[in-house]
């Protein structure tokens, strides 16, 4: 199809362009398919694996944006075969997306990007940055938020709108604020059925 051919051509353009402009800080593997814009910025390192696909989100509101913040040591790593739909990722330390993961128009941040204390709030502060990891084959739904120190286990699914604030297990379905595995006590768990007691008196 023409759209696929154009996406591969645009992907090759991005691969060469960012490699040249960044002096090697940004590396994109072969086979990138760019059905929409890929915006890459910042002073840190960005590595995109082979066979990655980028698209605008379904509502055509967001392009894929990868930004390293304020430090040359900041890093974003996108594994082979990952698909990004309007995903926005900002790293002050490190964000890692493992191979085969699929992310919709979610927001992923490894820092608050400001200090909480009023006398320490600086525009160039990354605050208490902590690595964020999205596991192999995981799926992250639309409008989900992943905050500093969080992780999504391999093969897990994050429901749309969920807020992931801590490490989560593999092969789980996560929803809510804060996101928890469905079926756990206190979240979408069915109460056990009560059996009517029968009296022996009688």
Q: Mind listing the pLDDT tens digit for each residue in 8-22?
A: 999 999 999 999 989
Return the structure tokens found at 66: 């990868």
Q: Is 45 within the bounds of a domain?
A: yes
- The structure's pTM equals 0.84
- Is the separation of the CB atoms in 162 and 151 below 8 Å? no
Q: Predicted confidence band at 113 (pLDDT cuts at 50, 70, 90)? A: low
Q: Predicted confidence band at 42 (pLDDT cuts at 50, 70, 90)? A: very high
Q: Is 133 within the bounds of a domain?
A: yes
Q: For 163-198, how does the pLDDT look when each residue is reduced to its tens digit (9 = 90+)?
A: 999 999 999 999 999 999 997 544 443 334 444 444
**Strands laid side by side in the 38-42 sheet:** 38-42, 64-68, 88-91, 107-109, 145-146, 163-164
Q: Is 196 within the bounds of a domain?
A: no
Sign of CA dihedral 19, 24, 25, 31: positive
Q: Is 190 within the bounds of a domain?
A: no
Alpha-carbon Rg for the chain, nearest whole angstrom, is 20
CATH number assigned to the domain comprising residue 26: 2.160.10.10
- The stretch 89-108 carries a mean pLDDT of 97
Count of domains for the chain: 1
Q: Predicted confidence band at 128 (pLDDT cuts at 50, 70, 90)? A: confident
Q: Predicted confidence band at 71 (pLDDT cuts at 50, 70, 90)? A: confident
Range of the domain at 115: 2-174
Q: Is 182 within the bounds of a domain?
A: no
């Amino acid at each position: 199809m023409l759209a696929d051919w154009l996406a591969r051509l645009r992907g090759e353009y991005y691969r060469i362009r960012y490699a040249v402009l960044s002096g090697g800080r940004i590396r994109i593997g072969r086979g990138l398919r760019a059905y929409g814009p890929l915006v890459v910025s910042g002073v840190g390192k960005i590595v995109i694996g082979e066979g990655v696909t980028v698209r605008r989100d379904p509502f055509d509101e967001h392009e894929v944006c990868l930004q390293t913040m304020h430090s040359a040591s900041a890093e974003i790593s996108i594994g082979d075969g990952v698909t990004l739909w309007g995903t926005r990722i900002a790293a002050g330390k490190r964000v890692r997306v493992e191979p085969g993961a699929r992310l919709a128009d979610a927001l992923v941040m490894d820092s608050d990007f400001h200090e909480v204390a009023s006398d320490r709030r600086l525009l160039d502060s990354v605050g208490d940055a902590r690595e964020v990891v999205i596991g192999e084959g995981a799926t992250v739904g639309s409008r989900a938020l992943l905050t500093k120190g969080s992780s999504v286990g391999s093969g897990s699914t994050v429901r749309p709108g969920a807020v992931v604030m801590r490490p989560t297990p593999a092969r789980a379905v996560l929803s809510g604020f804060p996101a928890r595995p469905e079926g756990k006590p206190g979240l979408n768990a069915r109460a056990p059925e009560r059996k009517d007691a029968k009296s022996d008196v009688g």
